[in-house]
Amino acid sequence: MHRRLTCLASPRRVALAAAIVALVGCGGEASKYSGTWTRDLYGEGEVKMNLASNGNVELMMPSPRWPDSVDMKGRAAFLGDTLLFKSDTAGSKCQSADARYLVSRTQDELHIAGVGMDTCGGRRAALVGTWKKS
């Protein structure tokens, strides 16, 4: 009886291995922007943002105009240098259309610029600008 061992992996196994490496080996595109960030909101106080490596975004608006809690939560997708909030009125009534932002990062700064409209105006007011790593 002769057994033949093959060193070549099937295309299916190669695809599965690549998918596992992509999921386990890196935190996705959001990971390079993740962290806790702050910025001044037009002299009204400091906005805080927690940006997780999975794309979860929490924005805390400054007091006393806004309550002392997480004011906006959402899930964003990162496509290269574009931050995308998909339309999701179940998550937030104002989120009736996709919203896009351009993002760039230096060592301790995050720059966010709006692209087109965001039906959640408060989110746009909070996001657009230069953020400092905190």
Q: Is residue 78 in some structural domain?
A: yes
Number of structural domains the chain divides into: 1
- In this predicted structure, the answer to whether residue 17 has a pLDDT above a threshold of 50 is no
In-domain check, residue 71:
yes
CATH number of the domain enclosing 84? 2.40.128.290
Average pLDDT over residues 74-79: 91
Do 102 and 108 touch, CB atoms closer than 8 A? no
Q: How buried is residue 99: exposed, middle or buried, by Cβ count under 10 Å (0-12/13-18/19+)? A: buried
Tens digits of per-residue pLDDT, 119-134?
988 899 899 999 999 9
Which H or E run contains 11?
helix 11-25
Q: Which domain holds residue 72?
A: 30-133
